[in-house]
Amino acid sequence: MLLAIDVGNTNITYGLFDGTRLVCHFRSASSRTRTEDEYAVFVREVLSLRAIDYKAIRSAIVASVVPSLTDTMVELVRRAFAREPIVVGPGVRTGMPILYDNPREVGADRIVNAVAAFEQVHGPVIVVDFGTATTFDCVTPKGEYLGGAIVPGIQISAEALFSRAAKLSRIEIAVPPRVVGRNPAHSMQSGILFGYASMVDGMVARINDELGYPSAILATGGLAPLIAKLTTSIERVDDTLTLEGLRIVYERNSSG
């Protein structure tokens, strides 16, 4: 089996593949204070709870946007499974040309998302990833990574509002009953969620206008299901897109 690990700024997502089938996936917080051994114990305990023998893991791949956790994840794989993982970065074959000015500056998660999305649609695609930051990543009709946009994530935006406005209290990130809020909580929910959905639709429209051709629009990330249903542009949500991209990249680097 293949263990795929996606290290984000807020969460680490783990996926276990048997061939092309995703057997299970789970998350932990991206704690910079946890040791390699603590992460190793966590992963093995979760696998045990799901009746999966850790010895069945024969390979691993890691994508990380948190440099301080990259080595930690590599050591986790070494200690828990006695394997040497592939780390997505320079020198790793993705099968996708990178047209960014400096390919080394593109986050590993953005590349594997693009790889997985193009594998699904076999054509131009925009991936909207609702993570700590929300990213828009564009793939050309030829399957080239073109670039994209980065905006503050929903939680970051909400926290900035709560911390800077003395009379506004923290609220649940949930869809309000109407756009025109009639109390502070509903007004903030409307601005955060409907406003964010409108931003997504606006960005997708601007990107498509600039590209000059229509693209499929895929969404992923923790808040994707909530936001996607409020947009008119997002066609499909795939919450395991990054893990699928890691599996594909692993296969492209293990087949010689």
Residue 119 domain flag: yes
151, 239: one domain: yes
Q: Are residues 231 and 125 in the same domain?
A: yes
CATH of the domain at 121: 3.30.420.40
Query: For 117-157, what is each residue's pLDDT tens digit?
Result: 999 999 999 999 999 899 999 999 999 999 999 999 998 88
Residues 83 and 142 in one domain: no
Single residue among 87, 113, 139 that ends a domain in this structure: 87
Answer yes or no: is 65 within a domain.
yes
Same domain flag for 58 and 121:
no
User: CB–CB of 118/125 below 8 Å?
Assistant: yes
- Domain annotation covers residue 255: no
Q: Establish whether 109 is a catalytic residue.
A: yes
* 94, part of any domain: no
Q: What is the mean pLDDT of the chain?
A: 94
Residue 166: inside a domain? yes
- The pLDDT assigned to 255 comes to 63
Query: 31 and 135, same structural domain?
Result: no
Q: Beginning with the edge strand found earlier in the chain, give each strand of the sheet holding 21-29 in spatial order.
A: 21-29, 11-18, 2-7, 59-64, 86-87
Sequence-ordered strand ranges (E) for 30-141 = 59-64, 86-87, 125-130, 133-139
**Mean pLDDT across 236-248:** 97
The pLDDT value recorded for residue 167 is: 66
| Residue 172 belongs to a domain | yes
Residues paired with 152 in a beta bridge = 133
Question: How many of the other CB atoms lie within 10 Å of CB of 198?
Answer: 13
Closest of 5, 49, 8 to residue 31, by C-alpha: 8
Residue 232: the pLDDT is: 97
For 125-179, what is the HEC assignment? EEEEEECCEEEEEEECCCCCEEEEEEEECHHHHHHHHHHHCCCCCCCCCCCCCCC
Same domain, 36 and 82: yes
Same domain, 71 and 134: no
To which H or E segment does residue 227 belong? helix 224-228
Q: Are 248 and 119 in contact (CB under 8 A)?
A: yes
- Amino acid code (one letter) for 178: R
Which residues form the domain of 21?
2-87
Asked, for residue 72, whether it belongs to a domain, the answer is: yes
Q: Tell whether 110 and 233 lie within a shared domain.
A: yes
Residue 30 corresponds to which tokens in the numbers above? 């991206």
Interval 182-238: pLDDT, tens: 998 999 899 999 999 999 999 999 999 999 999 999 999 989 999 999 999 999 999
- Whole-structure pTM value: 0.92
23 and 65 part of one domain: yes
Task: Determine what percent of the chain is predicted with pLDDT higher than 70.
Answer: 98
pLDDT at 168: 73
Instruction: Name the domain count of the chain.
Output: 2
The reply to whether 254 falls in a domain is: no
Same structural domain, 128 and 55: no
Read off the tokens for 216: 């499929």
In the prediction, which pLDDT does 145 show? 97
Residues 6+ apart with CB under 8 A from 160: 152
Catalytic residue chosen out of the listed positions 109, 129, 137, 238: 109
- Averaged pLDDT for residues 151-165: 86
Is-contact 220 113, C-beta < 8 A?
A: yes
Q: Do 20 and 56 fall within a single domain? A: yes
- What pLDDT does 2 receive? 97
> What's the whole-number mean pLDDT along residues 162-186?
85
Based on the fold, state whether residues 120 and 223 are members of the same structural domain.
Answer: yes
Q: What pLDDT is recorded for position 173? A: 86
